[in-house]
A and B are shown apart, each in its own frame.
Chain A
Amino acid sequence: MVETIGLFKDYKVGKVLFPALRGIDMHIGDGEFTAIAGPSGSGKTTLLNIIGCLDVPTRGDVIVDGTNVNTLTPKDKAELRKEKIGFVFQTFNLIPVLTAYENVEMPLLLLDIPANQKKKKVIAILEEVGLEDFINRKPNEMSGGQQQRVAVARALVKEPSMVLADEPTANLDSTTATEILSLMHELNKKLKTMFVFSTHDKLVMDFATRLIKLRDGKIIGDDVK
């Protein structure tokens, strides 16, 4: 569960203060498949970053699974990300020197899990995203769609309570984007993991079961399909 209460975020651009978020109040429940949509500069990525504890709000509260993240130290926030949050980025952000298997294994390095169980989890999630035959490939030996599948597997391998995906289809063609979204939707249904997307892609909005619309840092619409 994620809740934001009176969330504001200002950026300083030179001497000018740019308000990216202007009072966001929202609640996203467990297992939801939500898209935060809006044009460029509407504040959707900023909102996602704050929910994911990658950035700090200027004021307001973010509550993740009952914990107000404002009260957390950077170390505690890292712990929260480690345990509960998975990320999928627009540019995939895979570690280039590691294979698909090793990239997916990365989040598990930080968790106290026996080696054989780690291996089972990694193989299982790679099978889930259809990359069982690509486990030894490095990112530069895979297509964009395959790389994003690895990123999805990496986000899900530790079984987080939520996956935050920032423009996950922006660098993919429409066919691959559809495949990736279908995959995420299936996993959402199967694993009951909350997915939150920031996007301006119509395709993502079509897949989402809830659509929160942002404009100029404010929510202008919240539709549940």
Chain B
Amino acid sequence: MKIVTIAWRNVFRHTRRTIITAAAISVGLAAMILMNTLMNGMDKMAYQNIVQYETSHMEVFAEGYYREEGIFPLDTIIENPAVLISKITAVNGVKNVTPRVKFQARINNGIDELPVLAIGIDRELETEVFQTSRAIVAGQYLQTADDLLIGTELAEDMDADLGSFLTVITRDRNGTYNAYDFSVTGLINTGHPLFDRNAVLIDIALAQDLVAIAPGVTEICIRSSDDTGLQELKHDIASAVGEEYEVLTFREMNASIFQISGFKRTGQTIVALVVVVIAAVGIVNTMLMAVMERVPEIGTLKALGFHNVDIMKMFIYEGGIIGIFGSLLGCLCGILFSLYIVVVGLDLTSYFKDMDIVYPVKFIIKGELDPGMILLVFLFGVVVSVLVTLWPVRKATTLQPVDALRHT
């Protein structure tokens, strides 16, 4: 028999009390895992949506364009993209490159009119950098200059379907109004709210004509061969294109979104910690009760020659055993709930359907489990359980043996 055996038996003196305490820990830890899965999923979806549809890994702009990107300054564009594209393509680590022309426009179905982001795309190069063509859920990809791709939600808002005619109205770089009738040839559902609700995709040549910037483009999007080492690639590209142009990675262009992610994680950690603190108070309470009702027993152990450290060890093992049970249960519940979010997803549509949020994800959020985090959460639960045991145990072991024996 060892001290840990005695601790094990003591834990099950009051099975119900042990279960309740362990359950309190498990709720806190399960919440931690669940929130982490949700945040990982949101981050992954946001990353994928940004890279696969919005910016690719990095973009090159004419110097000064990005600072005013919100107003689409057509005076500050890449006037000669062909030369620049060949320079960028030659940089080691660049996989594919495509130009885009972005401008503000309004879309009209003859009755209703909505503001949209118009994106002129190179029909061939676009598919090598972005996943736009794979997001078509009805109709087909752009085939001619008159074709138009719109998101399913925008189509719904505009009461448009395949074959419907929609007019894109904009002002060119000189301030002159231009309009063009397009036929809807494809509906896209990317999962990125910007593309599904607020954007139209048209042929780049027509876009250049509509805003009178031909052969210029507003940006050149770059897909790297590898997600890592983007900063290094950025420097290489910046050197290749020269100081008239600026190169920005997707992280730099979406700094606020990744900052929000950081805030959310902090918030998540605080909430989870509060739950864990509540659970820890439960353990303190349980251990305090265990210690108080066993003070005469502590006296007996002291009379037998047990040192304070042996007695503390026994109670610490007890706290540890409860912690291991609670943490295992918490991790198990956390994994089970998380798996539901990973496989089925969390549908928040009914809560947020009409709300515009900055985060580039839609409202069915699929989680992503992080095994490293689960291990950390498990260890955290056990360590907290052991640490909070120290206080009540220390209190009991400082008693004189005779006082402990007399304690009722």
Task: Please list the residues of chain A having a beta carbon within 8 angstroms of any beta carbon in chain B.
Answer: 49, 52-56, 74-75, 78-83, 85, 87, 89, 93, 95-98, 102, 105-107, 109-110, 154
Question: Which one, A75, A97, A102, contacts B307 given CB within 8 A?
Answer: A75
Per-position 1/0 for B279-320, Cβ under 8 A of A: 000000000000000001101111111111010000000000
CB contact under 8 A between A107 and B305, given known A93-B300, A102-B1? yes
Is B125 engaged at the interface, CB distance under 8 Å to the other chain?
A: no
Given A49-B402, A54-B405, A109-B1: A82 and B305 interface contact (C-beta under 8 Å): yes
B304/A81 in contact, CB under 8 A: yes
CA–CA, A130 and B307, complex, Å: 31
Contact status A81-B303, CB under 8 Å: yes
Q: Which residue of A lies closest to B304 (CB)?
A: A107
**Inter-chain contact count A-B, CB under 8 Å?**
69
B76 contacts chain A at the CB level, 8 A cutoff: no
Q: Given that A54-B400, A109-B1 are contacting pairs, would A98 and B6 also be in contact in the complex, using a CB cutoff of 8 Å?
A: yes
Query: Secondary structure of the B side of the interface?
Result: helix
Kindly list the 5 A-B residue pairs having the minimum CB-CB distance in the complex, ordered from nearest.
A82-B305, A97-B9, A55-B402, A54-B401, A93-B300
Instruction: Map CB proximity to A onto B54-72 as digits: 1 under 8 Å, 0 otherwise.
Output: 0000000000000000000
Q: Which of B12, B300, B301, B303 has the most CB of A within 10 A?
A: B303
Partner of B305, one of A55, A56, A83, A97: A83
A55 to chain B, nearest CB (A): 4
Residue of A56, A80, A110 touching B304 (CB-CB under 8 A) = A110
Given A54-B401, A97-B6, A97-B9, A110–B296 Cβ distance below 8 Å? no
**Alpha-carbon distance between A82 and B307 when the two chains are bound, in angstroms:** 9
| Beta-carbon contact of A82 and B402 below 8 Å | no
**B134 on the interface (CB 8 Å rule)?**
no
CA distance A214 to B305 in the complex (A): 28
- Bound form: Cα–Cα A165–B398 in Å: 24
Chain B nearest CB from A109 CB (Å) reads 7
Min CB distance B154 to A, Å, is: 69
Residue in B closest to A77 when the chains form the complex, CB atoms: B401
B6 touches A95 (CB 8 A): yes
Q: A54-B405, A95-B297, A97-B9 are in contact. Are A87 and B303 (CB under 8 A)?
A: yes
Bound together, the chains give a CA A35 to CA B54 distance in angstroms of 94
Q: How many residues of B contact A (CB 8 A)?
A: 25
Contacts of A96 in B (CB 8 A): 13
- A-B pairs with beta carbons under 8 Å apart, 12 shown: A53-B401, A56-B400, A78-B305, A81-B303, A81-B305, A85-B305, A89-B300, A93-B303, A98-B6, A106-B301, A106-B304, A107-B305
Q: Which residue of B lies closest to A87 (CB)?
A: B303
**B307, A78: Cβ atoms under 8 Å?**
yes
Cβ contacts under 8 Å, B6 to chain A? 95, 97-98
A154 to B125 alpha-carbon distance, docked (Å): 87
The CA-CA distance from A53 to B310 in the complex, in Å, is: 18
A52 touching B303, Cβ below 8 Å = yes
Whether B302 pairs with A98 at a CB distance below 8 angstroms is no
| Chain A residue at minimal CB-CB distance from B398 | A74
B303 touches A54 (CB 8 A): yes
In the complex, A32 Cα to B225 Cα: how many Å?
A: 91
Given contacts A82-B305, A97-B10, contact A109 B300 (CB under 8 A): no
Answer whether A110 and B306 are a contact pair too, CB < 8 Å, given A55-B402, A95-B6, A98-B9. Answer: yes
In this assembly, does B2 line the interface, its C-beta being within 8 Å of a C-beta of chain A?
A: yes
Closest to B305 in A: A82
The CA of A74 and the CA of B3, in the complex, are separated in Å by 21
Which of A55, A89, A109 is the most central at the interface, judged by chain B CB atoms within 10 Å of its CB?
A109
When the two chains form their complex, are residues B300 and A95 in contact, meaning their CB atoms are under 8 A apart? Answer: yes
**In the complex, which residues 374-408 of chain B have their Cβ closer than 8 Å to any Cβ of chain A?**
400-402, 405
Within 8 A of A (CB), among B354-378: none
Given contacts A82-B306, A106-B304, 10 further A-B contacts (CB under 8 A): A55-B402, A56-B400, A78-B302, A81-B304, A81-B305, A82-B304, A95-B297, A97-B13, A98-B9, A109-B1
CA distance A191 to B334 in the complex (A): 60
